[in-house]
Amino acid sequence: MENMGENLKRLMDRNQLNKRYQELMKQVKSDPDVQRFIAENRDTLTEESIQRSSSKLYEFVQEKKKFQEKKGMMAPGYRPELMLNQNKIDITYIPTPEFVARQKENQIRNRIQSIAMPKNIQEVTLADVDITEDRHVVMDKVFAFIENYLEAPKKFHKGLYLEGPFGVGKTYLLGAVAHELAENGFSTTLVHFPTFAVEMKQSIGDNTTGEKINAIKSAPILMLDDIGADSMSSWIRDDVLGVILQHRMQEALPTFFSSNFSMKQLEEEHLTISQRGEDEPLKAKRIMERIRFLAEEVSMDGKNRRHSG
């Protein structure tokens, strides 16, 4: 008697399970993607092979649901799709176009190193830069640089020294150039020079000065932003900036600058007078020679674009 009861119970459980299974399979087979897939592969798939693949079909419907709800996916950014694998139904995971685009954008961003630059500088592209009438000269030079560089990245190409008042878009343009180069696989380092100079002074304490200078001086493409915005000590001028520029000249590495000063002003008003108030015109001249070798001066005028909406 007892045995009978157990058997009956097992049988009933199996019936329950069967019923549940049938319901699930009904759901799975009513899925439009499953239906379409079966219809498209009528020639290959028999009723039996579909039956045998039911767990795959079930998995597909589950993963598709997770994908649509964007929750709990095995591989986020990948969309499940049914496929035939030696006449059997299988699932393949295909990266979504958004995922591919995001990955690409991340790769691009990773090619733009920045020190103390505005947060969104890695996102500015040349397409974002509106080219007004007064921008033709500078944009011609920008495009020429990019074209020449991409054509022969190992050769020396003179960078640009963007000179102009506060807010005209110098930093923004440097960011856009870096982005364009990054899209083509080249790495740029963007440095807000005044902040970098302060960091260098602090680095004397922890002995990292040499290592920091080395990282900057050998960047494949270097952009020194806002040079001359703060007064420079002789040490920063000669042993930091001077060393960086000397190395870049020797190694023929493209270098850009942006400044509120023209080259002439930078030399006479900024680099000549040391923080202690001494006149050091020869040292200023040496630095300027290197800057002039590395970059061509272009002036950028126009309205202040900050907070103008």
Contact residues: Mg ion, CB under 5 A? 171
Cβ 299 to ligand ADP, closest distance in Å? 11
Q: Does residue 170 bind ligand ADP (CB under 6 A)?
A: yes
Q: Does residue 206 bind ligand ADP (CB under 6 A)?
A: no
Cβ 26 to ligand ADP, closest distance in Å? 57
Cβ 64 to Mg ion, closest distance in Å? 49
Binder among 130, 133, 151, 211 for ligand ADP (CB under 6 A): 130
* Binding region for ligand ADP (CB under 6 A) out of 27-35, 164-172, 192-200, 272-280: 164-172
Residue 129 binds which of ligand ADP, Mg ion, none (CB < 5-8 A, kind-dependent): ligand ADP
Binder among 171, 188, 255, 259 for ligand ADP (CB under 6 A): 171
Q: Which position's Cβ is nearest Mg ion?
A: 171
CA distance 218 to 86: 53
Nearer to ligand ADP, 113 or 171 (CB): 171
